[in-house]
Chains A and B, each alone.
Chain A
């Protein structure tokens, strides 16, 4: 019997890989290994509308398609090692999975604060469904909520917690929330909109200590301010889950380096023909912008990279004549993200954080507006609040 395509990671990227393998004509066995007990679900609503209502798997689960009904799901099991020479993955139950092709889709885990008194209860992160269920139970009217990290997830949770009647303070290490992606003008505007809804910001500040006996009661900042805190939410970014790949000759510097076919690269610069990485862990060059390989944590990237990898894997395993041509196809997905904060619906294309300049190009800063992001003369991104036709018209400029 043929060995399966083994996909490690049962989130959106893993699911889209399995679906796309079928679409591209691979009919052989597929195994998906996932650490969480749940079938794939959509994470973004966990900081937004689902967190404001009721958090259940059903509310966020991806619809299952008939084409992937025969996928072998190995859930609640972590892959602990991979051997690219012998083509096997070993899981935390000790089971060895031989593969014909391996897809690494292990995604991210939340970074956590490293501070004294870290053993106190009441600390939350927000990545998984279980995280959201635990957090939802604590977001009760009148609670003092401190959110560390004023990026998109921190700001979305702030908006949701305010809606639920909590007293919300955001501690952020820069001059404005979401400053790095949005630029100072739009970031400051978003800050004003949050403040108008009742959010307090402690900017250019970091947390130095937690206060409490068993449960967190307060948070000390680097200017010695102490914030009352019943619920502490740490939204300070994430780590790529690639440690389990140690022992293989690959570049694991920040995620894993892949070529334009999503094939993993050895340290000597050779592509491994049957090992692929997709989604948040994949560091790849996007010729839309330049030749520098980057990890991109935008929501559409797992799907785009999954489809790319699946087209290559299907051609490789089916030994189709078009395989070399498929390998040579350019891969330049347009990164895209969105964010809902109160009635502000942000939509962006490109890699905004590459820009050295952001310019208002449509609308007014106090209402709906669109910003263009440039690195020198090069257009690298667009972001709008509302004004969808203007924002959308930019997408074509990247293709």
Chain B
């Protein structure tokens, strides 16, 4: 399993991560980011891609 952490103080809800890992990240009805903290190992590449594209560099993978 992978643990995902988003620093919500940094996050500006740009939602770029949603395109890379749609099963982990989503924007809710108020345009705010929501995410699933526990992810399957098969999601690693997608989550790393989400980390890469986050403008605020707010996403971390906690091993």
Q: Is the CB of B12 within 8 A of A42?
A: no
Contacting pair B53 A300 (CB below 8 A): yes
Known interface pairs A16-B52, A338-B55, A388-B13; A395-B45 also in contact (CB < 8 Å):
no
Q: How many residues of B contact A (CB 8 A)?
A: 18
The contact of A389 among B19, B27, B45, by CB within 8 Å, is: B27
- Residues of B contacting A: mostly: mixed
The answer to whether A336 and B52 have CB atoms under 8 Å apart is no
Chain B residue at minimum C-beta to C-beta distance from A306: B52
A345 contacts B by Cβ under 8 Å: yes
- When C-beta atoms are compared, the residue in chain B nearest to A302 turns out to be B52
Q: Known contacts A42-B57, A44-B55, A347-B14; is A388 also within 8 Å of B19 by CB?
A: no
Instruction: Determine how close the nearest CB of chain A comes to the CB of B63; give it in whole angstroms.
Output: 8
A389 to B31 CA separation, bound complex (whole angstroms): 7
Say whether B53 contacts A395, CB under 8 Å. Answer: no
- Number of chain A residues close to chain B: CB under 8 A: 23
On whether the beta carbons of A388 and B27 are closer than 8 Å, the reply is yes
Chain B, residues 10-33, CB within 8 Å of chain A (1/0): the string is: 001111101100000001000100
Q: How close is B49's CB to chain A, nearest CB, in angstroms? A: 8
Produce 1/0 per residue, A381-397, CB < 8 A to B.
00000111100100100
A388-B14 contact given A23-B45, A63-B60, CB 8 Å threshold? yes
Chain B positions within 8 Å of A392 at CB level: 15, 18-19, 27
A303 adjacent to chain B (CB < 8 Å): yes
Which chain B positions have C-beta within 8 A of A42? 57
Interface residue? A244 (CB, 8 A): no
Of chain B, the residue at the smallest CB distance from A23 is: B45
Residues of B within 8 A of A23 (CB): 45, 48
Chain B residue with the shortest CB-CB distance to A386: B31
Q: How far is A386 from B31 in the complex, measured between Cα atoms in Å?
A: 9
Inter-chain contacts of A16 with B (CB < 8 A): 52
**B12 and A345 within 8 A (CB):** yes
A336, B27: Cβ atoms closer than 8 Å: no
- B positions within 8 Å CB-CB of A: 12-16, 18-19, 27, 31, 45, 48, 51-53, 55-57, 60
Where the two chains meet, the residues of A that have a C-beta atom closer than 8 Å to any C-beta of B are 16, 19, 23, 42, 44-45, 62-63, 65, 299-300, 303, 336, 338, 340, 345, 347, 386-389, 392, 395
30 contacts between A and B (CB under 8 A): A19-B48, A23-B45, A23-B48, A42-B57, A44-B55, A45-B56, A62-B57, A63-B51, A63-B57, A65-B48, A299-B55, A300-B16, A300-B53, A303-B52, A303-B53, A338-B12, A338-B55, A340-B12, A345-B12, A345-B14, A386-B31, A387-B31, A388-B13, A388-B14, A388-B27, A389-B27, A389-B31, A392-B18, A392-B19, A395-B19
